[in-house]
Amino acid sequence: MFAFAQTSSPATATSDIKGFVYDKNTGEPIIYTNVYLLGTTYGATTDINGFYSIKKVPVGSYTIMSTYVGYDSSVIKIDLVPNQIFTQKLYLSKKARRIKELVVKANKDDKVTEVQISEIKATPVQIKQLPSIGGEPDLAQYLQVVPGIVSSGDQGGQLFIRGGAPVQNKIMLDGMTIYNPFHSLGLFSVFETDIIKNADIKTAGFNVNYGGATSAIVDVTTRDGNKKRMSGKVSANTFTSKVLLEGPLRKLKEGSGSSSFLVSAKSSYLNKSSKLFYGYADTNGLGLPYSFTDLYAKLSFNSNSGSKFNIFGFDFMDHANYQGVADYKWSSAGGGANFVINPVSSTVLIKGNLSYSNYTLELKEADNKPRTTSIGGFGANIDFGYILPKNATMNYGLEVNGFKTTYHFYNPLGIQVGNGEDQNTTELAAFIMYKKILNSKLIIEPGLRIPYYASLDEFSVEPRLGVKYNYKPNLRFKGAAGMYSQNLISTKSDRDIVNLFTGFLSGPEEELKTTEGAIATSKLQKSMQLVGGFEYDLKKLVEFNVEAYVKDFTQLVNINRDKLQVQDPNFMIESGYAYGGDISAKIEYRRIYLWLVYGLGFVNRYDGTKNADGSKFYYAPPFDRRNNINVLFTYMMGKDQTWELGARWNFGSGFPFTLTQGFYEKFDFSNGINANYINSNGQLGILYDKRINVGRLPYYHRLDMSLKKKMYVGKNGLFEGVLSVTNVYNRANIFYFDRIRNTRVNQLPVLPALGISYSF
């Protein structure tokens, strides 16, 4: 949290300073901005709540100042008396909207005060630098550019983070878990860009304040509604439409509390509009088979001291109907509350939340066997954060989660794996984390997390550590390591090239065997992670980030995809590892923003299968992409820079798949000796290669572009027009191959879109 060194003599009388920094126009906290005392080395950086704290400042008169890109500075004179906790709010006003250069930079000072390894902090400003596919920028599109993240393409909505399957990632909205955040049209998420305050994307080595995931974390926080005036946004394009409305219930005045509301609704009608606009992409005359609706609402109550209380709720729905192949739909609903308490007489900051959500999914395929799953439950946590003397902070907290799962599933052999039975589980966890900055050079951040999985009666002790060394102001080395566990498992089969169905289960209570046939001592999914790298800034124009990582998935609990009989075990244990590296470069100069990302990754799994010589056979899961390249470019045009040209190009080497060896007549002997196998016709069965996923699909690449025009109306009005093109050169990227029909099905062709929005 500290942006500057803080020193004081023990004999000098001191005082503490704390407070919040707000946007003067909306009352929204300003995150990751600098607060410092002019002419001194005392200062701090605000957190996600806009909170700052400066410890042990010698008494006297000072000028406190806050600065942030795109805002005018705030300067206030203060007088400190001995042994006082001095509270000071700061309000920043936005600069004139017609700026002379592109500004998407985040705060620079947290680079030298935070470990920030394998971490990206995304704001709406950064997300909107992407080409507005379908007329709307979205977090799902932004995540596909982040180093270490691999996308399965524009259909299916799956992201794989540094070798982890989707079930190994924990994705949160305002502190609660979202079990499926991506729509089946993979260009859109459930997160509305205009209500996002911040998204912390942690691809490896995350610390103990996060649990329940063995690969990665995506933590999305929404902003409050406008506390000063009624405002909103309406937009429509050929893919989607949305409405956003916000305003004060009790208007914010300096020196008083406030309350506000925010409501957002977004809907896609591509299944209908595609008949008119994209008939060439519609092979069956039924339209592109995608539709979704996202609703979100929030009430915020803020006290004069900076303490706050929020109530929020959401309802997300998605439907994709691939005629004759699969009918896929899911819904997710929930709500909760979170709070921040800022005690007047202490520099501690107390945060917590309580939430409940429920997610259901149903898939009907050509075999007409229903596959259903649901997961629902509650979560609660509380976190105590302390600012300590001598550049140190400490956080500790407690969490409790409980959820219930059901599933009804058939494997690719037609064997029923689940029959709808319920599973209930409760998880408890405690954590403590300490951070210390030594001589403004070395940052150490050790932590310990101890979760208890009640349904399995199992503890897990998980030490973690983050380190950064500021070798020079423009060169920083960093590293992290840790142990991780989770109880949640997926029913998805690694044999499927494309599988929309992801069932959720808690760790099985039945006996499990390791890959070598021994009785497993744990029923959790576990991993160990190690990541290291460096950051280098070249003349304040280019930011380089280089990282290498290893994730050792010491235990993976999966559905037994080789189940042949009802009495066979439902689950199996696998192990595996992922390793690789990412190189990224961000270039920001005047009107130009360029982000270049290259990722090299290797992912392997071992399920006990041996090669002919007796050695272990490691197979590649279907998300093992060796090379991944992203290029993001934005250029501001015009005298007032009201025109914006954006482009994103993605290249990925081919995903693995299991080869087909032949076909046979598959006859159902469910009637036993009475089966008439002589005169009856069986179904077409597939003989798969015994070696899983040794084939490779063709490589993938796609160019997306957009052109935006802004027109300001009055003091607060803004019209924005967007012309976007998805898959500009109409690359035929494979979606899946229908083995039965011997037909290749491609992903989206070239799709132009036109959109317009009005903000007020």
Both tokens of 343, joined, read 């005690």
Q: What φ, ψ does residue 272 adopt, rounded to 5°?
A: -100, -45
Pairing between strand 734-738 and 743-746? antiparallel
Tell me, what's the pLDDT at 185? 78
**Percent of the chain surpassing pLDDT 70:** 90
The DSSP call for residue 544 is E
- Please give the pLDDT value at position 168: 94
Task: Give, as one character, the DSSP assignment of residue 519.
Answer: B
Tokens read off for 14: 């001191």
**C-alpha closest to that of 756 among 725, 723, 726, 713:** 723
Residue recorded with tokens 């005298």: 639
pLDDT value of position 434: 96
Q: Does pLDDT of 682 surpass 80?
A: no
Structure tokens at 539: 């003349």
Residues 6+ apart with CB under 8 A from 715: none
> Are the C-beta atoms of 35 and 80 separated by less than 8 Å?
no
Q: What is the pLDDT of residue 327?
A: 83
Q: Is the pTM of this model over 0.95?
A: no
Check residue 673 and give its pLDDT. Answer: 62
**Mean pLDDT, range 479-508, rounded to an integer:** 79
At 427-475, the pLDDT tens digits run 999 999 999 999 889 999 999 999 999 988 999 999 999 999 999 989 9
Residue 242 CB contacts under 8 Å (≥ 6 apart), including other chains: 136, 192, 233, 234, 235, 236, 264, 265, 266, 267
Averaged over 248-266, what is the pLDDT? Answer: 91
d(Cα 554, Cα 124) in Å, to the nearest integer? 37
Would you state the structure tokens that stand for residue 39, as one six-digit string?
């002419």
Give the C-alpha separation, 724 to 702, whole Å: 14
Q: How confident is the model at residue 10 (pLDDT cuts 50, 70, 90)?
A: very low
Residue 105 reports pLDDT greater than 70: no
Report DSSP state, residue 397: E
Query: What is the spatial distance between Cα 608 and Cα 615, in angstroms, rounded to a whole number?
Result: 10
Residue 383: what pLDDT? 96
Each residue of 472-499: b (16+ CB within 10 Å) or e? eeeebebbbbbbbbbbbbbbbbbbbbbb
d(CA 708, CA 404): 46
Q: Please, what are the domains in the chain?
A: 14-95 (2.60.40.1120), 119-364+379-487+524-658+693-759 (2.40.170.20), 659-692 (no CATH)
Q: Write out pLDDT tens, residues 200-233.
A: 999 999 999 999 999 999 999 999 999 999 999 9
pLDDT at 85 over 70: yes
313-352 tens-digit pLDDT? 999 999 988 776 778 899 999 999 999 999 888 888 999 9
Q: What is the pLDDT of residues 453-462, one digit of tens each?
A: 998 899 999 9
Question: For 698-745, what is each residue's pLDDT tens digit?
Answer: 999 999 999 999 999 988 899 999 999 999 999 999 887 777 777 888
Q: Which residue has the higher pLDDT, 181 or 663?
A: 181
Lookup: tokens for 213: 């995931």
How far is it, in rounded angstroms, from Cα 151 to Cα 186?
A: 9
Alpha-carbon distance of 586 to 596, in angstroms, equals 6
Looking only at the bridges linking them, the beta strands covering 462-472 and 458-459 are unpaired
CB atoms within 10 A of CB 193: 23
Residue type for 353, please? N
Residue 99: predicted pLDDT: 44
- Residue 422: partners with Cβ closer than 8 Å, 6 or more residues away: 404, 405, 406
351-380 pLDDT tens trace: 999 999 999 998 887 677 777 889 999 999
Q: Across the chain, what does the average pLDDT equal?
A: 87
Say how far apart CA 150 and CA 182 lie, in whole Å: 14
The β-bridge partners of 148 are: none
Among 151-155, 282-286, 612-616, where is mean pLDDT lowest? 282-286
Is residue 531 within 8 Å of residue 549, measured between CB atoms?
A: yes
